[in-house]
Structure 1
Amino acid sequence: MIRINILLVFLFLFLGCTSQETAEIKVGAERTELYLSLLKDKNVALVVNNTSLVNGVHLVDFLLSKDIKLVKIFAPEHGFRGDVSAGGVVEDGKDTKTGLPVLSLYGKNKKPTAEQLAGIDVVIFDIQDVGCRFYTYISTLHYLIEACAENDLPLVVFDRPNPNGDYVAGPIREEGFESFVGVDPIPIVHGCTVGELAKMINEEGWHKGDKKCKLAVIPNQNYTHKMLYSLPERPSPNLPNDLSVRLYPSLCFFEATSASVGRGTEFPFQVIGGLKSDLGTFEFTPRSIPGVSVNPLNKDKVCYGLDLRELENVPKFTLKYFLDFYNKYENEADFLTRENWLNLLAGSDDLIKQIRDGKTEKEIVKSWQPELLEYKQLRKKYLLYPDFE
C-alpha cells in the first residue's frame, strides 16, 4: 500500500506546488503532515547526515519521537554526524544516542546491498546538497535509487533548496569519465534540487537497475530557483558558510593542483594560495584540524594568493581563478599535480586541452553551450519549482 500512497501524494504535491517568494521556505522534512502517516507501522531506513534537520531537530530523533520504527541508518561521505574530513574513512557502527546501526555508503560500499536492505519497507533520503556534480551526496543518491529499484523498495526523497540552484553552468560529464565525483551526465552546476535530480536520474534510466525506482518526493514549500538560499547547517566540514558554498563550483578544480583552497584554515573554499610568493599578497598557513581537515595540502607552509572574502560581488561558476593561477606557473607540472583528477572533476579531458591551447574563458564557455542547451531542456521536464528563467 505504501507504494500507491506515496505516488498519490507525489502527484498531489506536484500539481499543487505553488508558492509566494516572500513566504518562509519549509523543507520537505518539515512538511510532516505529508509523510508521517505513510511511515506508520513500516520498517524505515534513513540516508541522512548532520543536515537532516526538522526545525533544528535531527530527523532520526524527530521520527523516533513520533513512534516511527527506524531500523537502520546509512551514512554518506563525512559520516552520519558530518564530522569526517574529505576522503576520510566512514566506518560502520552504531549511533551512540539511539543505538541504531549505522552503515557507510562511502568507500568500498557505495550502494546498499540486498542484504542490508532486507526487512526494510521504505527508505528515506534527506541530505542537503550544494548543487555541484562533484559533490558526492548526489552520487550516493544515484546509487540509492539504483539499489531501491533493484530491490523493489519505495524511496522517499525529502527535498531541500539548492544554494546554487539559480543557474546552470559548466561542462557536461562525458562518457568514459564516470566516477564518484561524476556519476551522471550533468553539468558541474546542475541547477536541480535533490528531488528534481532524483526524478531525472530515475526517469532517464541513468542508473543500472532493470526497472524504475518507486520514487516519491516531498517538496519544499515556498521555494523557487530564483532564490539564494542560506544553509542553516554546514553541509560538510570544509563548506562552513554561504560564501564557501557559492565559491565551491569555481574552486574545486584547484583540488587537482599544488594550490590550497584553504583546507586547514578557518576559511576553506574562501581563499586560494600556493607556495610561489608571486601568486598574491594574501598569506595563510594550513594546519591539521581534527574532524575538518587532517594533513591538508601545504600543511604548515605559508601559502600566497587571494583572499576571496573581500569580494564585493561573488561570481557564479567561473574559470577565472584557475586560469590566472595556471598562467603564473612556467612549468605546468608545478601547478597541475593530478591531471586525471582534474579530468574527473571536469567530466572530460577537453578542459585541460583547451587550457593548453591557450583558449580564453569566453572561448571555453562557448564550447559548452550546445550540450548545456540540451541539458536545460531536459532539466525543465523535472522541475518542481518555478525556474530562474
Structure 2
Amino acid sequence: MNFKVLLFIFFLTSCGQQASSRNTETPETAKEPVIPAIATINTGADRTAEYLPLLRGKRVGIVANPSSIIFKDEDKKAYVHLVDSLLSRGVDIRKVFAPEHGFRGNVEAGGTVKDGKDPKTGLPVLSIYGNNKKPKPEQLKDIDILLFDLQDVGVRFYTYISTLHYVMEACAEAGKSIVILDRPNPNGHFTDGPVLNPKYKSFIGMHPIPVAHGMTIGEYALMINGEKWLANGIQCPVAVITCTGYTKDMPYDLPVRPSPNLPNAQSINLYPSTCFFEGTNVNEGRGTDKQFQVYGSPYLPAEKYPYTYTPQPNAGSKDPKNKGKVCHGEDLSGTERLHRIELRWLIGAYRNTTKKEAFFTDFFVKLAGTPQLRQQIEAGVTEDEIRESWREGLERFAKTRQKYLLYKDS
C-alpha cells in the first residue's frame, strides 16, 4: 500500500467519516486533446457529497478567496462562493484565513492583507500573508478541521502553494486535519524551468521544484507530505477531493480570475514566461489591462520595439513599474497556448536594452530560484543551451512528481 493511500486512510479515521476523494476516472472523450467545455469538469468544491460528511458536526476553518466557488447548475453558468454555500447548508464555519490578495481578492500583489470581519457573512477574516504567513496555534484552537480551496496556476512563484505549505505545517503541529478541494491547473500540461536551489528559498519559492511544476494544488499537498518538506519532517493528515472529468492536457479557462493581475486565460498562459520581467527594469504589463500579456521599457529602442504603452495606477497595481513613462515593447496577447517557458522575450530585452547595468534586480534570483539564469543571460548563453542546463533537474523532478499524480498526465 503506497504512502498516499495510507495517509488518506489515516485522515478518514481521524474524522470518523467515509468519503470518496480520489476518483481519478475521466470520460473517454478526455483522451483526445480537445478544448473542453467547462461543464465537463467538476472541481473538488463542486463535489459536495464527497466532503460535506467530513464537515458535519465539526468546527470549520477555511482558506479561501474569490476563486473558491461552487457552480449552481450543470451548465456552469452560475456560481456561489464556497463560504456562502456552506453557511446555507448549516456548516459551522468559525473563521476564514485570507492569502495574498485577501479573501475578497481586492488587495494588489504584495499589498497588506489585514485581519477583519467579512461584511457579507460577519465571519472573522484572519490574514495569512505578510507578517503572519503561518496560522498561529491560538488561531487554530477553536476549529476541528480546515478546508482549503484556492485556485492555483501551477507556477512556483505564485504564492498559494507557499501558503499551502505553512497551513499544512501549522495544522500538523496543532493536530488538525485538512480537506483540500482540488481545482485544475491551467498550466498543468507542462513542467519547465530551472529547479530551485534551496539556498535561495523564499516565500516565492520554498521547494526544489521547477518554475512550472505541472501539478494541481491537491497533488502538490501530497508531495509536500511525501517529501517531508514540512518542519522537522512532520506530516499533515490530508484528504484531497479530486476533480472529475479532468486530464492535464485540457485547456481550462478559469471562471474567476485567481488574483487581480491574472485577468484571463492568456495572462495565465504567459505568466510562467513573462513574470521573469518582475526581476528586471522592464514593466510586465502591471498598470495596464493586459497584465503579463505585454512587456515594455523606456530603455528598449523604438526601432526594434514599435509597440508602446504607458503604465498607470489601476486596481491591480497602485504604483506600477515605469509609471507614467512611455514603454517600448511587445504585445503578446495573441500568442498561442504555450507548452514551455519562453525565454526569447527576456533574452531579447536584455540584449537590446540601453541600460544593461540596471536591467536585473536582486528579485530576479528569487524568481529564478538560482543565480545561474541571470549569469547565463548576461554571458550571452543561447536559449537552447540554457534549456539543456535545466534537463537534469527536470528529469529528477519528473520521477518525484510521478509518485503524487492524481490525474492522467499530458
Is 1:204 aligned to residue 227 of structure 2?
yes
CA pair 330-9 structure 1, distance change in 2 beyond 3 A: farther
CA contact (8 A) 1:264 1:286 kept: yes
CA contact (8 A) 2:21 2:239 kept: no
The counterpart of 1:136, out of the listed 156, 159, 166, is 159
- In structure 1, runs of 5+ residues without a counterpart are none
The counterpart of 2:130, out of the listed 101, 104, 107, is 107
Q: 1:301, CA displacement in angstroms?
A: 1.2
What is the RMSD computed on CA atoms of the aligned residues? Answer: 1.7
Find the counterpart in structure 2 of residue 373 from structure 1: 395
Secondary structure at 1:74's aligned position in 2?
strand
For structure 1, which segment, 354-363 or 100-109, has the greater mean C-alpha deviation from structure 2 after superposition? 354-363
The counterpart of 2:49, out of the listed 8, 14, 33, is 33
CA contact (8 A) 1:7 1:215 kept: no
Between the aligned partners of 1:18 and 1:102, the Cα distance in structure 2 is 36
Find the counterpart in structure 1 of residue 347 from structure 2: 323
Secondary structure at 1:54's aligned position in 2?
strand
For 1:32, the aligned partner's letter is T
Find the counterpart in structure 2 of residue 354 from structure 1: 376
CA pair 312-141 structure 1, distance change in 2 beyond 3 A: closer
Alignment of 1:90-169 (within 5 A): 90-169=113-192
The counterpart of 1:4, out of the listed 4, 13, 21, is 13
Between the aligned partners of 1:111 and 1:79, the Cα distance in structure 2 is 15
Secondary structure at 1:35's aligned position in 2?
helix
CA contact (8 A) 2:18 2:53 kept: no
Between the aligned partners of 2:189 and 2:355, the Cα distance in structure 1 is 37
Between the aligned partners of 1:316 and 1:374, the Cα distance in structure 2 is 18
Is 1:18 aligned to residue 25 of structure 2?
yes
Find the counterpart in structure 1 of residue 3 from structure 2: none
Q: Deviations over 1:68-119 (max 9, x none)?
A: 0000100000000111111111000000011111011110110001011001
Q: Deviations over 1:41-62 (max 9, x none)?
A: 1100000000000011111100
Find the counterpart in structure 2 of residue 299 from structure 1: 323
The counterpart of 1:283, out of the listed 304, 308, 315, is 308
CA contact (8 A) 1:13 1:219 kept: yes
CA contact (8 A) 2:194 2:369 kept: yes
Find the counterpart in structure 2 of residue 385 from structure 1: 407
Find the counterpart in structure 1 of residue 259 from structure 2: 236
CA contact (8 A) 1:247 1:315 kept: no
Between the aligned partners of 1:6 and 1:387, the Cα distance in structure 2 is 31
CA contact (8 A) 1:6 1:216 kept: no
CA pair 275-202 structure 1, distance change in 2 beyond 3 A: same
CA pair 281-9 structure 1, distance change in 2 beyond 3 A: farther
**TM-score normalised over the length of structure 1:** 0.95
CA pair 335-246 structure 1, distance change in 2 beyond 3 A: same
Q: 1:313, CA displacement in angstroms?
A: 5.6
For 1:287, the aligned partner's letter is Q
Secondary structure at 2:61's aligned position in 1?
strand
Between the aligned partners of 2:355 and 2:326, the Cα distance in structure 1 is 20
CA contact (8 A) 1:29 1:126 kept: yes
CA pair 294-342 structure 1, distance change in 2 beyond 3 A: same
Count of aligned residue pairs for this structure pair: 383
CA pair 196-8 structure 1, distance change in 2 beyond 3 A: farther
Q: 1:334, CA displacement in angstroms?
A: 3.1
Between the aligned partners of 2:208 and 2:17, the Cα distance in structure 1 is 29
Between the aligned partners of 2:281 and 2:172, the Cα distance in structure 1 is 41
Q: 1:323, CA displacement in angstroms?
A: 0.2
For 1:17, the aligned partner's letter is T
CA pair 62-347 structure 1, distance change in 2 beyond 3 A: same
Q: Deviations over 1:165-218 (max 9, x none)?
A: 001000111121000000111110000000000000011101115521011100
Between the aligned partners of 1:110 and 1:80, the Cα distance in structure 2 is 14
Between the aligned partners of 2:66 and 2:337, the Cα distance in structure 1 is 30
Secondary structure at 2:193's aligned position in 1?
strand
Alignment of 1:38-53 (within 5 A): 38-53=54-69
Q: 1:295, CA displacement in angstroms?
A: 1.1
Between the aligned partners of 1:313 and 1:371, the Cα distance in structure 2 is 24
CA pair 121-2 structure 1, distance change in 2 beyond 3 A: farther
The counterpart of 1:170, out of the listed 193, 198, 202, is 193
**TM-score normalised over the length of structure 2:** 0.90
Q: 1:376, CA displacement in angstroms?
A: 0.5
CA contact (8 A) 2:186 2:268 kept: yes
For 1:72, the aligned partner's letter is K
CA pair 210-115 structure 1, distance change in 2 beyond 3 A: farther
Identity of aligned residues (%): 48
Find the counterpart in structure 1 of residue 333 from structure 2: 309
CA contact (8 A) 2:261 2:316 kept: yes
CA pair 245-199 structure 1, distance change in 2 beyond 3 A: same
- In structure 2, runs of 5+ residues without a counterpart are 1-9, 31-35, 72-78
CA contact (8 A) 1:149 1:210 kept: no
Between the aligned partners of 1:384 and 1:313, the Cα distance in structure 2 is 24
Q: 1:141, CA displacement in angstroms?
A: 0.4
